Amino acid sequence: MKKRISLLFIVRRSLRQHALSTLITTLSIALGTGLVMAVIGIKSQSVAAFTGGRIGFDAVLGARGSPLQLVLNTVFHLETSPGNIPWAMYQTMKDDPRVELAVPYALGDNFHGFRIVGTTGTLFTKFEYRDGVRFQAQGGGRFFDPTRQEAVLGNYAARKLGLRLGDNFTPYHGLVFDESMRHDEQYTVVGVLEPTNSPSDRVIWIPIEGIYRMEGHVLRGDGEDYVAQPGQEIPDEHKEVSAVMLKFRNPQIGFIMDATINKQGKVATLAWPIGAVMARLFDKIGWMNQILALVSYLVIVVAGGSILASIYNSINERRREFAILRSLGARRKTVFAVIVLEAASIAALGVIMGFIVYGAIFTAASAIVRAQTGIVLDLLKLHPVFVIAPVCVILLGTIAGVVPAVKAYRTDVATNLTPIS
């Protein structure tokens, strides 16, 4: 035990004596380890967030087209809308006893880049974005009155836009912000939602009627152009929705609807199950992640090589030191152990700093993911890579130490005790 501590003492001192190369090799190990942990950690969490929980709906019904586009557009509020479907389809779904919940979305406007989604009050009263958890208005706020020009803001949107209860704003036409596309209608913020850490945080919710009545909006629910007139009720046949968000009473209904709507039908697309649609996306872009992972593995290998090279190069100048140690009674294998321990220590230090690198990359990446999608990734969420990567890197560092250690092991004592004169 005492001897181990003494060896570590020698190792620590020698690391300090070679501070610069220790620092550089440690940093490169930290970078590699941090990268690997970040790439794998972020991927695993994004996949989980985009394909699994925190969605609350089973399926999305929308215009005929790509289910992926439909899901991205309605669940994640990204991408453009593939088009609209008639109000009647929403009605059918709503009245279908197999459907637990049907929520219509009408898209087409934004406010400074944050999407305005027209919907019904059902979203607030029935929809659970997580099991058992509904949208909640923050102190003093409420949900909108479907007949008035009122808006409920997702938490992130409210914060970024600086909008509070009672503030007014005017929507802009289109999903992308364009100064010149300002509508004339004024909307009043009546509620700000509690954070959900989901894409909904970036959405501005208004009554679906509001979308219909927004100046310049043309409805084509029955194929013909119709413009809503103030004070007049809009006949249902003219109404249209961008999508209907669905929750089924049981999973089998998804199968049946998939068959009737996607396979036999021709007018609409049912994106189901949402998780699988997104999983296909991740499968498609998996190569990107593989490249990132590969690059970070390479960084680790190069870092391991730099441990090897820097220690190897220092052996010559340290031969006398080894010889003195031997003259004091140290065995060859002790000298060997010192060098291997030195390499392992650099790797271990690098791994510790790697967690800082991971934290930095993760924080930056999750800020981007959050700004783009509203999904919040959890820095401290455990993943096996946090154990596997450090163990492998320390192992690699130890192995890298073997080559210079062999060189040190071979140091001849007698010839290195007397300086060459």
Partner 1 sequence: MPLLTITDLQKAYVSPEGSQTHIIDIPHFEMEEGSQIALRGTSGVGKTTFLNLIAGILGADSGRIIIADEEMTALSESGRDRLRAIHIGYIFQTFNLFAGYTALENVMLGMMFGKGIDAGFAQHLLERVGLGDRMGYRPSQLSVGQQQRVAVARAVANRPHLVLADEPTGNLDRHHANEAIALIREICAENNAGLLTVSHDEEILGQFEEATDFAQVNRA
Mark residues 279-318: x for contact with partner 1 by CB under 8 A, - for none: ----------------------------------------
CB 397 within 8 A of CB 350: yes
108 or 404: whose CB is closer to partner 1? 404
Does 250 contact partner 1 by CB under 8 A?
no
Report, in Å, the least distance between residue 416 CB and partner 1. Answer: 10
328 or 382: whose CB is closer to partner 1? 328
Collapsing DSSP states into helix, strand and coil, what is residue 259?
A: helix
Residue of the chain from 11, 14, 47, 351 that contacts partner 1 (CB under 8 A): 14
Among residues 90, 71, 65, 119, the alpha carbon closest in space to that of 277 is found at: 71
Does 417 contact partner 1 by CB under 8 A?
yes
**How do 204-207 and 150-153 pair as beta strands?**
antiparallel
132 or 329: whose CB is closer to partner 1? 329
Q: Is the peptide bond before 273 cis (omega within 30 degrees of 0)?
A: yes
| Contacts of range 261-265, beta carbons closer than 8 Å, 24 or more positions apart | 261/61
Angle between helices 19-51 and 332-373 (to 10 degrees): 40
Q: Contacts with partner 1: how many residues (CB under 8 A)?
A: 27
Burial class (CB in 10 A: 0-12, 13-18, 19+), 277: buried
How distant, in Å, are the alpha carbons of 8, 149, 364, 402, 410 from that of 338?
A: 8, 75, 39, 10, 13
Report, in Å, the least distance between residue 36 CB and partner 1. Answer: 34
Residues 386-415 that bind partner 1 (CB under 8 A): 413-414
**How do 240-241 and 85-86 pair as beta strands?**
antiparallel
For tokens 């783009």, what's the residue? 372
Which residues contact residue 21 at a Cβ distance below 8 angstroms, ignoring those fewer than 6 apart?
310, 314
User: Within 13 Å and on the Cβ side, how many CA atoms surround 376?
Assistant: 11
Residue of the chain from 20, 285, 328, 382 that contacts partner 1 (CB under 8 A): 328
139 or 419: whose CB is closer to partner 1? 419
Among the candidate windows 14-22, 75-83, 87-95, 101-109, which touches partner 1 by CB under 8 A? 14-22
Residue of the chain from 20, 229, 419, 420 that contacts partner 1 (CB under 8 A): 419
Which residues contact residue 301 at a Cβ distance below 8 angstroms, ignoring those fewer than 6 apart?
32, 396
Among the candidate windows 3-11, 20-28, 53-61, 402-410, which touches partner 1 by CB under 8 A? 3-11
Among residues 97, 99, 63, the alpha carbon closest in space to that of 83 is found at: 63
CB 228 within 8 A of CB 212: yes
Report, in Å, the least distance between residue 321 CB and partner 1. Answer: 6
Q: Which two tokens stand for residue 63?
A: 């215009």
Does 327 contact partner 1 by CB under 8 A?
yes
Mark residues 329-348: x for contact with partner 1 by CB under 8 A, - for none: xxxxxx--------------
Report, in Å, the least distance between residue 13 CB and partner 1. Answer: 6
Among the candidate windows 79-87, 148-156, 306-314, 325-333, which touches partner 1 by CB under 8 A? 325-333
Q: Which two tokens stand for residue 158?
A: 């409210």
For tokens 């649609």, what's the residue? 277
Does 3 contact partner 1 by CB under 8 A?
yes
For tokens 């406007």, what's the residue? 109
Report, in Å, the least distance between residue 390 CB and partner 1. Answer: 29
Report, in Å, the least distance between residue 5 CB and partner 1. Answer: 9
Does 23 contact partner 1 by CB under 8 A?
no
CB 79 within 8 A of CB 66: no
Does 320 contact partner 1 by CB under 8 A?
yes
Does 19 contact partner 1 by CB under 8 A?
no
Report, in Å, the least distance between residue 202 CB and partner 1. Answer: 57
8 or 181: whose CB is closer to partner 1? 8
Residue of the chain from 325, 375, 405, 408 that contacts partner 1 (CB under 8 A): 325
Residue 364 CB coordination number (10 Å) = 11
Residue of the chain from 54, 115, 202, 326 that contacts partner 1 (CB under 8 A): 326
Among the candidate windows 12-20, 160-168, 212-220, 225-233, which touches partner 1 by CB under 8 A? 12-20
* Alpha-carbon dihedral 93, 94, 99, 101, rounded to 10 degrees: 130
**Interface positions with partner 1 (CB under 8 A):** 2-3, 6, 10, 13-14, 16-17, 320-321, 323-334, 413-414, 417-419
